[in-house]
Structure 1
Amino acid sequence: MVALEIVQLKTSDMENFSYLLYCPQTREGAIVDPSMRPQLVLDEAVSRKVKVRLLLNTHGHQDHITGNGDILAGGGIQLAAHPDAVPAADIALSEGMQLPIGNSSITVMDTPGHSPGSVVFATADAIISGDTLFVSRCGRADLPGSDVSQLYTSLQRLKQLAPTTRVYPGHDYGPMPSSTIAWELEHNEFIKCPNLESFIALRMG
């Protein structure tokens, strides 16, 4: 399977990251979380001659999905999100779903906790982790619909991924824009918590 190209773009004053993913062979691609400056992602797709087929949302918070309408306005693009996050999406995402992109695909991982319907998008060698996992941190669990126990479980799933897996977060909150699972296992105190009780004390303290 062809490795997808992943382009990371800063698209808000809230340090949001948006992403353009595409197959280098077919130039078919997807946009993830267009945030507040969707034109930046559209311009990047044009400059790279990428035909965007899918718009993917990691979760339903407004700082991530505000630009959805602008992306979809051109037509020919399907919106994909978990029904608990964006109920009106064209494609209702669920655990293990495969989304084809050219000669490759993305796998959906159900990772609730930060918000209902939070998902992570996994490629062969990377994850786009939304607000579930940041570089050196994790998402909040004190917002409406958050569940700290679910967030702990979701992080336990992610820490089982291959150590070389690249981590592309939803915000630029860490010491660098991206990392690896190995780096997080060494430096991220949230993902290092040995049990739920210690995680709750750290995250909610």
Structure 2
Amino acid sequence: MIKKIMSNNYTTNSYFILKGQESVLVDPVGDIAYFRDLLQENHAELKGIIYTHGHYDHIASANELYKEFGCNIYIHEDDMQMLLKPKLNLSGFFGSSFVFEGTEKLVGIKDGESLTVGQLSFKIIHTPGHTPGCICIIYDKAIFTGDTLFKGSIGRTDFPGGSFDVIKKSLGKLKTMNPDFIFHPGHGESGTIGDEVATNPYFE
């Protein structure tokens, strides 16, 4: 099961993935009580949290989640410093100064890594351009694209560490994916990789 949750504060999509009684959250942000209730309703244990990148609108709830659940938190090694430096995670734009407090639970991941979290298995694809450590996460026939790919668009490249030329190369990786894969972005609606390759102007 994959459930999308949209945060009203940041219009960011979070994703709840459930297999048996084990679960993983992708880019969870918002009301911690909601995530707690979601786990209880599904009689599930949270085995890990994966962030597609380190911008504040995706990681804003990381400290509360760490204190509530104490599970490992995974992010690409090139974005690990974003969890620790407000200037990099852009929390100042939201009137905050975010620093992650649970560094002992922080796990760096790499391109091509096969990541197993409990019973759930993921493939990590490094897709920089929006940030240096942006990733896409393949799970079964789904791919979580964070802010690399949106329906009809792509993530901004004008923030520190962003690059339009680099994100174009990252799109080249996505272009080779199974066209039937359902992509789940960090903002907006889901779709298929095949439709994006055919219609998204950034794939030209």
Question: Shorter-normalised TM-score: what interval?
Answer: 0.7 to 0.9
Where do 5+ consecutive residues of structure 1 fail to align?
194-205
Where do 5+ consecutive residues of structure 2 fail to align?
82-102
Residue 159 of structure 2 is matched in structure 1 by 143
Which runs of 4 or more aligned residues in structure 1 lie more than 6 Å from their structure 2 counterparts after TM superposition? none
Secondary structure of the equivalent of 2:116? strand
The answer to whether the 8 Å contact 1:131/1:139 transfers is yes
Distance 1:132 1:57 in 2: 13
Aligned equivalent of 2:109, options 78, 93, 96: 93
CA spacing shift, 1:39–1:98, aligned 2, 3 Å = farther
Distance 2:127 2:31 in 1: 26
Residue 166 of structure 1 is matched in structure 2 by 182
Aligned equivalent of 2:49, options 41, 55, 59: 55
- After TM superposition, the score normalised by the length of structure 2 is 0.83
Secondary structure of the equivalent of 2:77? coil
The answer to whether the 8 Å contact 1:22/1:102 transfers is no
Distance 2:33 2:198 in 1: 36
Residue 22 of structure 1 is matched in structure 2 by 18
> Greater helix percent: which structure?
2
- After TM superposition, the score normalised by the length of structure 1 is 0.83
Cα displacement string for residues 128-157 of structure 1 (whole angstroms, at most 9, x for unaligned residues): 110000111110111111011110011110
More displaced, 180-189 or 153-162?
180-189
CA deviation after TM superposition for structure 1 residue 102, in Å: 4.2
The answer to whether the 8 Å contact 1:128/1:168 transfers is yes
